[in-house]
Amino acid sequence: MDGLDAILKNVSWFIRNNLLIQKKWNPVVNLLKEDVGNDLIWVKLHGVPVTAFSEDNLSVVATKLGTPLMFDSYTLDTCMLSWGSSSYVRAMIEVRTDVELKDTIMAAIPKLIGEGFYTCTISVEYE
């Protein structure tokens, strides 16, 4: 892996609190804004059960909206330090601009006792 690939893969750049997405460029790429098919948004997910509070499980839930890029530091601390759960999960998600935004999502959550899953409705707030 050369230096460019390492930077594109492993580094998130923020300028004035906005995430800068980096992708390889070539001379035939059209850089006009109207040709952009994706957008980045911060979302808050309300009503996420405590059993889903791991980074992997939250990523699966966030995938219902688009491509999860990152969670805020408070959400990650809640997951990694086993603080339980927060009143919401905050994530940056790449969404397609041609798809209608959802107010709620249904998620299958692992049961704490026994095997299997149960479904729950999670409300979505867009920032």
Is the per-residue pLDDT at 18 higher than 70?
no
70-86 pLDDT tens trace: 888 888 777 767 666 67
Provide, rounded to the nearest whole percent, the portion of the chain with pLDDT above 70. Answer: 75
Rounded Cα distance between 8 and 22, Å, is 6
Structurally, how many domains does the chain consist of? 1
* Domain membership flag for residue 85: yes
pLDDT at 34 over 70: no
Q: Does residue 1 surpass a pLDDT of 60?
A: no
Residue 3 forms part of a structural domain: no
Q: Which residue has the higher pLDDT, 54 or 13?
A: 54
Does the structure show a pLDDT above 80 at 24? no
Query: Quick check: 55 and 71 in contact, CB under 8 A?
Result: yes
Exposure on the CB side of residue 19, measured as CA atoms within 13 A: 18
- Residue 98 pLDDT exceeds 90: no
Within a domain: 32: no
For residue 2, give the amino acid letter. Answer: D
Domain span at residue 117?
Answer: 38-126
pLDDT of 19: 63
Q: Is residue 14 part of a domain?
A: no
Residue 99: inside a domain = yes
